[in-house]
Chains A and B, each alone.
Chain A
């Protein structure tokens, strides 16, 4: 039976960062990275650019073979984990093979969540999470004219823009009242929505899909909305969110809520098993409660902490909690958000709306959220001010009037 001291399941951001931090401390311990993918590591985030044609599929790999050789890590593609026996410390693959481990990282990420819409199993639809999905969507785009996208989150909007730019008639259906809910407040979202409408994309906000049915012998489909409207689609993309890939952990004893539950060191409830990235449900910085925050910065940070723990690195620091971050480009424009940027109620909000739009959210004279459209800012600096809960009392006026300049100043002072 093949075995590894460090067994990493998944080959994306979380697992790669764990690899790095393990090797930082332990250059020799045997290591293997198993992944369902056929390809060397790549990021799901790049997929919209594969769809648009800007990035060539062969050029999106984040690591080459030499990297795995240099890091003394066996890279095993087409290895789909099917079950985990935590007592025997083995992971069983779909092809029947088993791997024994001393320390295991669960980094299987997330997969598209398919909503329970009537008829969904009878129609052909696309999702966007893997490189195959992206190349499949790209070629389908070439032969389609009417696209319907379910969901106006990051994935749905990226794909909608790709398809609109490729000349398709695109409709987006979203249950909530605005696009990118959670990241942006209504005013920011409206700017983004106007850009989409301006590029011919039809947005059905506050709309719910109740059924889909095949048409044309399965070549297209009809999308029925709750209010009776019917949209025709020869390309249907489902982008209504993601769910952590935890099915292979059923029966293993690993505690799973929405994702794999982990403590501040990314340990699961089972000894010798860590989890990081989109698959993990770690503490949220704002609420202090376990939450899913499926973005690269949290996947990287969690991967680093998990790797340090796996290698017994004594300098590991507790996970401070995830902070939502969104750097979003649409039709060449910029929308950015970090923290509780859409919050209202018990917070102090300052908005600026001339040319660019920005919304600064303070609580107790400390920054808790910041969003902007058409007015870039240093997201990392604002994130650091939020994370460190820096008291802005003395600089509040300057911060509200000139947040970028003042943020740079504050961080420069902190780093001295």
Chain B
């Protein structure tokens, strides 16, 4: 049985009630639509009834004929037309309206996910319906060789460990891995007692020289004619944005053929949760404490992936483990680009320990950070420029994200307003860079008493000019 399943997801805030999904479903299934969009509590709000393909399907439990059963491979609750006696007890089992009478045939009908290619999703013009394939990704890569030792000493629920194991399962054995100081080597990937913690060559550069060392390794492989080795780093945000930045910037500027993955948990988490250059404004860290006078970090984070895009690397992208299919596509493109030039992948990685998030909520935090635009998913190539891989439109307010994260528990309304304004400003700027759109509104000033450097308030028009000049 598969460990995880693909699902049809519904984002109500994007639905405009057009009904195209229902038309598509009923024409694909030649009968009544198996999902129904209904008017919601207020105007322009819509709700959905559809089979949730439950793990614990009550429709099947009450079926007297054995006509309903969950498929262990696809997760779909299948309906056997021959066994079904049309007693309709299943409609009494389902509390979602996911299996209902099709009046045309007087039999029940339910969503079968169109064999993994749902007609409703394809017809949805707003993106409210999405087919999420994280399930099959987990199943596929879960079966591949794990290139790290079991029993890494990451914290419970560590998102970085998830990223490491997934990434290396995807990239495979033909790789040389650098893990500069941070959680990733800290949890044991470089190994102990003369043994490595990985099944690929791994080394532990200084915080400051990761990209430079990788550049040399790539040149060595080039010289001996090995064109198939992925030369890569799994680095933290400190080693990338702060102490290691000159090396990263230099390698990018030279176009060294490296895959550089920055796992951004917004601070120096393994040494005791100190702030870094990517720690967002307002965050509690051990060096930006919360007390009577200080209320967390007083500067805004630097947007490292945008800085890398300004280097005109071969490939730059942001990703999140809340959106695995997106992450995997970007990994593919990044690996490919790393044979031609500098490829930079920035993966946002909530830290349950340092951010004070329950380990069970880490993936939800990933999703909320994206749904609120706190972080955005996009990619850049010199040819195509910046392109959003997930629309930043119709975002949730950033408060919805911030309130899940313990390191923001103390935030005042002023601070929250500042974060929201910063988020809006970032998105507006990205939109400008992504397309010919009207110039964004001016940035919100941080609350009095904060020490945001003057550079943080550069107007977007000038930044835009600066970037396009680059």
Which residues of B lie under 8 Å from residue A46 when comparing CB positions? 64-65, 85
- Contact across chains for A376 and B64 when beta carbons are under 8 A apart: no
**Residues 91-136 of B contacting A (Cβ, < 8 Å):** 91-97, 100-101, 103, 106
Q: Mark interface residues in A343-385 (1 if CB within 8 Å of B CB, else 0).
A: 0000000000000000000000000000000001011110110
Q: Mark interface residues in A397-416 (1 if CB within 8 Å of B CB, else 0).
A: 00000001111110111011
At the interface, yes or no: A84 with Cβ under 8 Å from chain B?
no
Number of chain B interface residues as a range: 20 to 34
**Smallest beta-carbon distance A82→chain B, Å:** 28
Complex Cα spacing A383 to B97, Å:
11
Complex Cα spacing A61 to B88, Å:
19
- Contact A409/B40 with A297-B62, A334-B101 known, Cβ cut-off 8 Å: yes
Partner of A384, one of B49, B65, B88, B95: B95
- Contact across chains for A408 and B38 when beta carbons are under 8 A apart: yes
What residue in chain B is nearest A45 (Cβ atoms)?
Answer: B64
What residue in chain B is nearest A158 (Cβ atoms)?
Answer: B87
**Smallest beta-carbon distance B324→chain A, Å:** 22
What residue in chain A is nearest B101 (Cβ atoms)?
Answer: A376
Q: Mark interface residues in A14-58 (1 if CB within 8 Å of B CB, else 0).
A: 000100100000000000000000000001111001000011000
Which residues of B lie under 8 Å from residue A20 when comparing CB positions? 61
What residue in chain A is nearest B50 (Cβ atoms)?
Answer: A412
- Contact across chains for A413 and B89 when beta carbons are under 8 A apart: no
- Contact across chains for A412 and B91 when beta carbons are under 8 A apart: no
At the interface, yes or no: A336 with Cβ under 8 Å from chain B?
yes
- Contact across chains for A412 and B95 when beta carbons are under 8 A apart: no
Complex Cα spacing A17 to B58, Å:
11
- Contact across chains for A381 and B97 when beta carbons are under 8 A apart: yes
- Contact A379/B91 with A296-B64, A332-B106, A409-B41 known, Cβ cut-off 8 Å: yes
- Contact across chains for B97 and A378 when beta carbons are under 8 A apart: yes
- Contact across chains for A334 and B88 when beta carbons are under 8 A apart: yes
- Contact across chains for A411 and B95 when beta carbons are under 8 A apart: yes
What residue in chain A is nearest B48 (Cβ atoms)?
Answer: A412
Which residues of A lie under 8 Å from residue B36 when comparing CB positions? 405, 408
At the interface, yes or no: B140 with Cβ under 8 Å from chain A?
no
At the interface, yes or no: B86 with Cβ under 8 Å from chain A?
yes
Partner of B88, one of A44, A329, A411, A412: A329
Complex Cα spacing A415 to B12, Å:
12
Complex Cα spacing A20 to B57, Å:
12
What residue in chain B is nearest A385 (Cβ atoms)?
Answer: B95
Complex Cα spacing A62 to B80, Å:
13
Main secondary structure of the interface of A (DSSP, over half): helix
**Smallest beta-carbon distance B144→chain A, Å:** 27
- Contact across chains for B85 and A296 when beta carbons are under 8 A apart: no
At the interface, yes or no: A205 with Cβ under 8 Å from chain B?
no
At the interface, yes or no: A338 with Cβ under 8 Å from chain B?
yes
- Contact across chains for B88 and A327 when beta carbons are under 8 A apart: yes
At the interface, yes or no: A149 with Cβ under 8 Å from chain B?
no
What residue in chain B is nearest A55 (Cβ atoms)?
Answer: B85
- Contact A409/B88 with A46-B64, A381-B95, A415-B96 known, Cβ cut-off 8 Å: no
Which residues of A lie under 8 Å from residue B94 when comparing CB positions? 378, 380-381
**Residues 38-92 of B contacting A (Cβ, < 8 Å):** 38-41, 47-49, 58, 61-62, 64-66, 83, 85-89, 91-92
- Contact across chains for B47 and A378 when beta carbons are under 8 A apart: no
At the interface, yes or no: A131 with Cβ under 8 Å from chain B?
no
Complex Cα spacing A409 to B47, Å:
6
**Smallest beta-carbon distance A151→chain B, Å:** 19
- Contact A45/B101 with A381-B95, A409-B40, A412-B38 known, Cβ cut-off 8 Å: no
What residue in chain B is nearest A325 (Cβ atoms)?
Answer: B92
- Contact A408/B97 with A43-B64, A383-B92 known, Cβ cut-off 8 Å: yes
At the interface, yes or no: A120 with Cβ under 8 Å from chain B?
no
- Contact across chains for B48 and A61 when beta carbons are under 8 A apart: no
Number of chain A interface residues as a range: 35 or more
What residue in chain B is nearest A407 (Cβ atoms)?
Answer: B97
Partner of A297, one of B65, B93, B101, B106: B93
**Smallest beta-carbon distance A389→chain B, Å:** 14
Which residues of B lie under 8 Å from residue A45 when comparing CB positions? 64, 87, 89
- Contact across chains for A327 and B91 when beta carbons are under 8 A apart: yes
- Contact across chains for A61 and B86 when beta carbons are under 8 A apart: no
Complex Cα spacing A332 to B38, Å:
28
- Contact A413/B92 with A46-B64, A55-B85, A60-B65 known, Cβ cut-off 8 Å: no
- Contact across chains for A327 and B97 when beta carbons are under 8 A apart: no
Partner of B93, one of A380, A406, A413, A415: A380
Complex Cα spacing A404 to B47, Å:
13
- Contact across chains for B92 and A297 when beta carbons are under 8 A apart: yes
**Residues 184-209 of A contacting B (Cβ, < 8 Å):** none
- Contact A380/B92 with A329-B87, A332-B106, A411-B97 known, Cβ cut-off 8 Å: yes
- Contact across chains for B85 and A49 when beta carbons are under 8 A apart: yes
Complex Cα spacing A338 to B94, Å:
13
At the interface, yes or no: A300 with Cβ under 8 Å from chain B?
yes
Complex Cα spacing A415 to B96, Å:
8
Which of B48, B65, B86: most chain A Cβ within 10 A? Answer: B65
Complex Cα spacing A334 to B240, Å:
66
At the interface, yes or no: A1 with Cβ under 8 Å from chain B?
no
At the interface, yes or no: A66 with Cβ under 8 Å from chain B?
no
What residue in chain A is nearest B49 (Cβ atoms)?
Answer: A408
Complex Cα spacing A279 to B15, Å:
48
At the interface, yes or no: A59 with Cβ under 8 Å from chain B?
yes
Complex Cα spacing A336 to B94, Å:
14
Which of A60, A300, A327: most chain B Cβ within 10 A? Answer: A327
Complex Cα spacing A416 to B12, Å:
10
Which residues of B lie under 8 Å from residue A379 when comparing CB positions? 88, 91-92
Partner of A327, one of B12, B61, B83, B92: B92
**Smallest beta-carbon distance A356→chain B, Å:** 10
**Residues 64-112 of A contacting B (Cβ, < 8 Å):** none
Which residues of A lie under 8 Å from residue B106 when comparing CB positions? 332, 334
Which residues of B lie under 8 Å from residue A381 when comparing CB positions? 94-97
- Contact across chains for B47 and A376 when beta carbons are under 8 A apart: no
Partner of A411, one of B41, B58, B86, B96: B96
Complex Cα spacing A407 to B83, Å:
29
Which residues of B lie under 8 Å from residue A408 when comparing CB positions? 36, 38, 47, 49, 97
Which residues of A lie under 8 Å from residue B41 when comparing CB positions? 409, 413
- Contact A413/B47 with A49-B85, A383-B95 known, Cβ cut-off 8 Å: yes
Which of B83, B92, B93, B95: most chain A Cβ within 10 A? Answer: B92
- Contact A409/B92 with A55-B65, A61-B66 known, Cβ cut-off 8 Å: no
What residue in chain B is nearest A12 (Cβ atoms)?
Answer: B64
Complex Cα spacing A404 to B32, Å:
15
**Smallest beta-carbon distance A88→chain B, Å:** 34
What residue in chain A is nearest B83 (Cβ atoms)?
Answer: A59
Shortest beta-carbon contacts, A-B, top 10: A43-B64, A412-B47, A45-B64, A376-B101, A327-B88, A379-B92, A408-B49, A384-B95, A380-B94, A378-B97
Beyond A338-B92, A408-B49, 15 additional contacts (C-beta under 8 Å) are A60-B65, A61-B66, A297-B62, A297-B89, A297-B92, A300-B61, A327-B92, A376-B103, A378-B100, A380-B58, A380-B97, A381-B94, A381-B95, A406-B38, A409-B47
Chain B residues with a Cβ under 8 A of chain A: 12, 36, 38-41, 47-49, 58, 61-62, 64-66, 83, 85-89, 91-97, 100-101, 103, 106
12 A-B residue pairs with Cβ-Cβ distance under 8 Å, sorted by A, are: A20-B61, A46-B64, A62-B66, A327-B91, A327-B92, A336-B91, A376-B88, A379-B91, A379-B92, A381-B97, A404-B97, A409-B39
Chain A residues with a Cβ under 8 A of chain B: 13, 17, 20, 43-46, 49, 54-55, 59-62, 296-297, 300, 325, 327, 329, 332, 334, 336, 338, 376, 378-381, 383-384, 404-409, 411-413, 415-416
